[in-house]
């Protein structure tokens, strides 16, 4: 009996200890299950934005730097020597062809014209008298009253006097022409510069008085490259219209429309460029000779062709090469070197490297590694660069469940009884 009681005495603490160990194991197992449920799934790759490579029929354009030039420009010089007596324009104003800009003292030239006119009258009077004498001599010669020699002398004298009349008349015309030069006219219509010589100064033909430049139409001159010449040079030389647009330094885009007017007959072998010129209407006088202009040269309608287009945001630079990341069927990024063309309507022409329909990374290039997986959101290729970044499906993290308080209470009670 005593032995049985001793065994029971040792068995109770052992059972309590085993129960405590079991409860602890169950509690730890519950915590492990909760922790395993709380761990998020491994991400497939960094979030990026991708777009599909597109193909369109485009009219390729190229951009150059140029300068505006006046169609006509004239330096105004005096053709008569003398003192300036009048300046009849405001600096920078618009003048018409034929307007009087300067007046040179006309009095010396008027006096010379009067003298020449008097000389003409004198020469004509002598010539008229010679005609009468010749007619009288002709009648006398018929009556055998004078010799043939005398008649011939009178006929020759009349011819000489006629020549003197013509010479005097020419001198009169020269004098009147010099008198007209005292009024300095605008040879073309346009905008006049300031007066380089002011009132009261003595001028001659070597002095530039002012200048006048035409304003409408106006030229834009630029240097095109060899590719441009091969693309549009022959088209322009055949007379086809090649559209050209320009924009000024304070303008966005290319709002002024014109057409290619001139392509030089040779390329500069040193620079590989060719001189080109376009003409633009300038009725509002917005375009001023000498201004810098951004020139956009388009091809003719016959030069339209299919082109592969991508966004500039998708293009990375690797030393001297351009590249894009192409997303394959396995959602991994592939490095592709590309050859680029001009920019058209906000997209970049790609000569080689990608194909229509392929998906390329347009946002998040810095997070992409070649051959690594990515998580892509597909957007339009021409979407604004300020569009929100791609958002991937966030894996919901399971919150850890609170520990089983009832099990903890049972374990605590068992521990207390063991100590007792």
Q: Output the domain CATH number for residue 125.
A: 1.10.287.470
- Asked if 37 and 398 touch (Cβ cutoff 8 Å), the reply is yes
The C-alpha angle 122, 127, 132, rounded to 5 degrees, equals 130
The 8-class DSSP code of residue 260 comes to E
Q: Is the peptide bond before 123 cis (omega within 30 degrees of 0)?
A: no
Here the CATH number for the domain that contains residue 353 is 2.40.420.20
Question: How far is residue 316's CA from residue 404's CA, in Å, rounded to a whole number?
Answer: 55
With CA atoms as reference, report the closest residue to 102 among 180, 175, 182.
Answer: 182
Give a yes or no: residue 207 inside a domain.
yes
| 367 shares its domain with 414 | yes
Q: Which residue has the tokens 């300067």?
A: 102
Question: How far is residue 15's CA from residue 22's CA, in Å, rounded to a whole number?
Answer: 10
- Asked if 52 and 379 touch (Cβ cutoff 8 Å), the reply is no
The per-residue pLDDT for 8 is 53
| 292 shares its domain with 349 | no
| 187 shares its domain with 176 | no
DSSP codes of every residue in 169-234: HHHHHHHHHHHHTTEEE-SS-EEE---SS-TT-EE-TTSEEEEEE--SSEEEEEEEEHHHIIIIIH
| 334 shares its domain with 351 | yes
| 88 shares its domain with 209 | yes
Helix, strand, coil fractions of the chain, as percent rounded to 5: 35, 30, 35
* 275 burial level (CB within 10 Å; 0-12, 13-18, 19+): middle
With a CB cutoff of 8 Å and minimum separation 6, the contacts of 405 are none
Give a yes or no: residue 263 inside a domain.
yes
Question: How far is residue 333's CA from residue 282's CA, in Å, rounded to a whole number?
Answer: 52
Give a yes or no: residue 10 inside a domain.
no
Domain ranges, residue 289: 218-298
DSSP codes of every residue in 14-65: HHHHHHHHHHHHHHHHHHHHHHHHHSPPPPSS-EEEEEE-EEEEE--EEEEE
DSSP codes of every residue in 95-112: E-TT-EEEEE--HHHHHH
| 292 shares its domain with 314 | no
| 418 shares its domain with 350 | yes
10 Å Cβ neighbour count for 371?
A: 10
Question: How far is residue 246's CA from residue 159's CA, in Å, rounded to a whole number?
Answer: 68
10 Å Cβ neighbour count for 324?
A: 24
Give a yes or no: residue 173 inside a domain.
yes
Give a yes or no: residue 29 inside a domain.
no
pTM of the entire predicted model: 0.58
| 314 shares its domain with 378 | yes
Q: Does residue 115 sit in helix, strand or coil?
A: helix
DSSP codes of every residue in 84-97: EEEE-S-TT-EE-T
| 156 shares its domain with 258 | no
Q: Looking at the 3D structure of the chain, how many domains does it have?
A: 4
Give a yes or no: residue 5 inside a domain.
no
Here the CATH number for the domain that contains residue 84 is 2.40.50.100
Q: Is the peptide bond before 168 cis (omega within 30 degrees of 0)?
A: no
| 205 shares its domain with 91 | yes
Here the CATH number for the domain that contains residue 254 is 2.40.30.170
With CA atoms as reference, report the closest residue to 161 among 139, 115, 114, 129.
Answer: 129
Render each residue's pLDDT in the chain as its tens digit; 420 residues.
444 455 455 556 555 556 555 555 545 455 455 454 545 554 568 898 999 999 888 777 788 899 999 999 999 999 999 999 999 999 989 999 999 999 999 999 999 999 999 999 999 999 888 888 888 888 887 878 788 888 888 888 888 889 999 999 999 999 999 999 999 999 999 999 999 998 999 999 899 999 999 988 999 999 988 888 887 877 777 777 888 999 998 888 889 999 988 888 888 888 888 899 999 998 888 898 989 999 988 765 555 678 899 999 999 998 889 999 999 888 889 999 999 887 777 888 898 899 999 999 999 888 888 888 888 888 988 765 444 444 444 433 344 444 444 444 443 454 444 444
Q: At 163, phi and psi to the nearest 5? A: -65, -40
| 82 shares its domain with 206 | yes
* 332 burial level (CB within 10 Å; 0-12, 13-18, 19+): middle
| 204 shares its domain with 313 | no
Question: How far is residue 89's CA from residue 389's CA, in Å, rounded to a whole number?
Answer: 62
Give a yes or no: residue 250 inside a domain.
yes
């Amino acid at each position: 009996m005593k032995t049985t009681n001793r065994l029971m005495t040792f068995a109770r603490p052992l059972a309590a200890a085993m129960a405590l160990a079991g409860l602890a194991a169950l509690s730890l197992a519950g915590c492990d299950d909760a922790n395993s449920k709380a761990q998020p799934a491994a991400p497939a790759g960094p979030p990026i934005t991708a777009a599909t490579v597109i193909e369109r029929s485009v009219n390729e354009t190229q951009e150059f730097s140029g300068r505006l030039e006046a169609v006509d420009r004239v330096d105004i010089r005096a053709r008569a020597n003398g003192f300036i007596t009048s300046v009849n324009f405001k600096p920078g104003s618009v003048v018409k062809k034929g307007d009087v800009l300067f007046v040179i003292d006309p009095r010396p030239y008027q006096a010379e014209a009067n003298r020449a006119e008097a000389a003409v009258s004198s020469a004509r009077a002598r010539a008229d008298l010679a005609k009468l004498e010749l007619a009288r001599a002709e009648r006398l010669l018929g009556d055998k009253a004078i010799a043939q020699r005398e008649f011939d002398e009178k006929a020759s004298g009349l011819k000489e006097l006629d020549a003197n009349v013509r010479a005097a008349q020419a001198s009169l015309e020269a004098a009147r022409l010099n008198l007209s030069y005292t009024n300095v006219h605008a040879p073309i219509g346009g905008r006049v510069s300031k007066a380089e010589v002011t009132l009261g100064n003595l001028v001659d033909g070597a002095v530039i008085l002012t200048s006048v430049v035409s304003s409408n139409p106006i030229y834009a001159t630029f240097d095109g490259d060899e590719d441009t010449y091969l693309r549009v040079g022959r088209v322009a030389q055949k007379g086809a219209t090649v559209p050209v647009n320009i924009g000024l330094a304070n303008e966005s885009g290319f709002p002024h429309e014109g057409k290619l007017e001139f392509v030089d007959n040779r390329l500069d072998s040193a620079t590989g460029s060719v001189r080109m010129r376009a003409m633009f209407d300038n009725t509002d006088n917005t375009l001023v000779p000498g201004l810098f202009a951004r020139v956009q040269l388009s091809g003719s309608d016959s030069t339209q062709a299919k082109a592969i287009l991508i966004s500039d945001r998708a293009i990375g630079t690797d030393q001297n090469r351009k590249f894009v990341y192409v997303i394959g069927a396995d959602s991994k990024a592939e490095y592709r070197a590309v050859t680029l063309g001009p920019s058209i309507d906000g997209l970049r022409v790609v000569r080689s490297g990608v194909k229509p329909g392929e998906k390329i990374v347009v946002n998040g290039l810095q997070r992409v590694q070649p051959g690594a997986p990515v998580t892509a959101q597909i957007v339009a290729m021409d979407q604004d660069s300020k569009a929100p970044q791609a958002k991937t499906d966030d894996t919901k993290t399971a919150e850890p469940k609170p520990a089983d308080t009832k099990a903890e209470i049972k374990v605590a009670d068992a521990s207390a009884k063991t100590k007792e």
